[in-house]
Chains A and B, each alone.
Chain A
């Protein structure tokens, strides 16, 4: 039986994005985790918390990125105890970078670290496959990011407000979902600033429609028979 996909490694095709705005950062991601051609989890959370003020967007191998984030959360916790104050985004990004670079032969994961600290304000660091670390005003990653380079070159502006930045992030992820087969599900965003952290959730049917996409319509079969309401993403 051709069921190779069952034993295929669990990867997150993914679209992840991090954007700084004047006052903080907004991180965004889709929610699809695929095992070969099957969607293993259509509502996964790819934005994981490392500490109160720093979050991580994960892409690539699900196992590798989960393990890296668990180790960094552990090291960071010890670092915070020793330091006696909240961790900076730069230190977190460096810890991620050290693990990624020193294990580059075994790991396959692209990560975006974003957060807020009192020294730099909001900052975004991109740590792609080989273990480079780049500080950028905005960063994209995952298979769906290919479709966003041109769009962001045109749409990104310095000094956006929180609402503009979040709207841009949602627009980006939904554009990538429309074109990338390995991205899908819902759009999750995390806004981090001096006041704290806000998590938001945009289900698939609330996203804007792009070229050639049809509006949602209940199937006539559903309307004819009244079965239990199917669960929406």
Chain B
């Protein structure tokens, strides 16, 4: 019987080994890198034929906009899409993971995926991580039981609603929805209201901006309208374009360093495939 302890592979979940090191670094004044978050305004609403999801396209890293046109409406199944707010890595990873699980489930059952299946898979995953997976989602889709719209919070609780908003711009978007939503809207009215809500978030919330993405899901059909509205175009672009011809920049000094080969074959045969 060996006396040495066997290094078991980690069973999953978070490893908190580096927490003490991080605390020590923080005391010394080293700032930890900020996460890439999607500040975000995401919305969803149920209309007469199905579900419409909407999202802005700004991704932020602290105060900097790191992606002016990111995609926040993620594919889950041919009839189910999910908008994600919170840490971008978390929303991407969790939606990809559940999307694969749904595909395997479709092969096993031979049927179209249901929205409640995606809901249960997402909520159990998020609950088991006790809120540390920072993903706030708006899940919508149409299946054999009808159109469904759910919100999922990072701690794993869910709500089922006719219209929903999430993210830092959720208050601005909800104000639009609360005053203008009606049951049984047509497709055009629904898309218009979703755009108004997202624009409200884009213009009134610092964490949201750039363009509006819309996704319309109906029975048997889905339309992913990427960049449906571009309310923030680049206002000035020189019509002549910008040219940087030689001679415009003054050369102060020149130094040329030839790169030498560092690889020498000493002995033996050359490597073969």
Contact = CB atoms under 8 A, between A and B. Distances in A.
A67 B127 contact: yes
A168 B244 CA distance: 81
Greatest chain B CB density within 10 A among A10, A44, A61, A230 is at A10
5 smallest beta-carbon distances between A and B, as pairs = A62-B157, A63-B157, A63-B156, A63-B155, A10-B157
B74 to A, nearest CB: 20
A228 B157 contact: no
Contact of B182 (A35, A106, A231): A231
A66 B182 contact: no
10 contacts: A7-B134, A9-B155, A41-B159, A44-B159, A63-B131, A63-B155, A66-B123, A227-B180, A228-B180, A231-B181
A38 interface: yes
Contacts of A61: 155, 157
Interface of B: 86, 123, 127, 130-131, 134, 136, 151, 153-159, 161, 167-168, 170-171, 178-183, 206-207
B168 A3 contact: yes
Interface residues of A, number: 24
Contacts, number: 61
Given A1-B207, A67-B127, A228 B182 contact: yes
A83 B171 CA distance: 49
A185 to B, nearest CB: 12
A33 B180 CA distance: 22
Q: Chain B interface mostly helix, strand, loop or mixed?
A: loop
Contacts of B178: 230-231
Nearest to A44: B159
Contacts of B182: 228-229, 231
Contacts of A41: 151, 159, 161
A98 interface: no
A186 to B, nearest CB: 14
A35 B86 CA distance: 15
B206 A33 contact: no
A7 B154 contact: yes
Contact of A9 (B131, B134, B151): B131
Given A1-B207, A9-B131, A230-B179, A63 B153 contact: yes
A129 interface: no
Contacts of A38: 170-171
